[in-house]
Each structure stands twice: as structure tokens, then as C-alpha cells.
């Protein structure tokens, strides 16, 4: 599971492939909010107010191929409200037929 530190500068955090079945993002910090945007749906960004989802400490967000279609692949971008960084945990789940 990839773990990233997300600061007040937006970064690309994940991009999946055709074998991705679901992706879960979790805010693993005790303080700070992470804002996530699926760039497949909207490519513009200005500030945390222009992101689709916000994750408070302990919150999770899951995209599933069965419900969200190809948008599960992203790419996803994130920014936080904390200059020192907020921990973003990423847990992708792949189809069993995925080849290395």
C-alpha cells in the first residue's frame, strides 16, 4: 500500500490500469484534511475548494469499477490544508488476471 505525504502543493497520487477493480484512499493523519480530485472527470484545479472529495482524519474514499466504471483508473490528484504534510494511504485492488 503506497503511503504519501500530501502538502499544500497539489500532486498526482495515483493512476491505475485496466486491471484495477477498486481504489481506496485514507487520511492516516491525526490532523489535517486531504482534498482529492479525479482528473479524468475534471482537469482544472485552483485550490482545495475545487476538489471533489475531502478526507478528514480517519476518513476513507473508495472508487469501485462496478459502480464508477473507468473513472476508477484516475488519474487522481491531491492537496492538503497542512504545509507540514498529511498522510495519504492508497490501497488499490486489482483483478486476479493482472499480469506483472
Domain assignment of residue 90, yes or no: yes
Rounded-to-10 torsion of CA 18, 76, 51, 61: 70
Domain assignment of residue 100, yes or no: no
Q: What is the pLDDT of residue 45?
A: 65
Domain assignment of residue 42, yes or no: yes
Residue 69's φ and ψ, nearest 5 degrees, are 65, -145
Print pLDDT tens along the chain (100 aa).
799 999 999 999 999 998 999 999 999 999 999 999 988 877 766 566 778 899 999 999 999 998 888 888 889 999 999 999 999 999 999 987 765 5
Q: What is the pLDDT of residue 49?
A: 73
Q: What is the pLDDT of residue 63?
A: 92
CATH number of the domain encompassing residue 41: 2.60.120
Count how many domains the chain has. 1
Domain assignment of residue 99, yes or no: no
Range of the domain at 53: 3-94
Q: What is the pLDDT of residue 71?
A: 83
Amino acid at each position: 500500500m503506497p503511503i504519501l505525504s500530501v502538502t499544500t502543493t497539489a500532486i498526482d497520487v495515483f493512476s491505475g490500469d485496466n486491471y484495477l477493480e477498486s481504489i481506496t484512499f485514507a487520511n492516516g493523519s491525526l490532523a489535517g484534511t486531504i482534498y482529492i480530485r479525479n482528473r479524468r472527470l475534471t482537469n482544472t484545479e485552483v485550490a482545495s475548494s475545487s476538489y471533489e472529495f475531502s478526507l478528514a482524519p480517519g476518513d476513507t474514499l473508495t472508487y469501485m469499477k462496478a459502480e464508477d466504471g473507468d473513472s476508477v483508473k484516475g488519474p487522481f490528484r491531491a492537496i492538503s490544508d497542512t504545509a507540514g504534510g498529511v498522510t495519504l494511504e492508497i490501497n488499490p485492488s486489482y483483478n486476479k488476471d493482472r499480469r506483472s
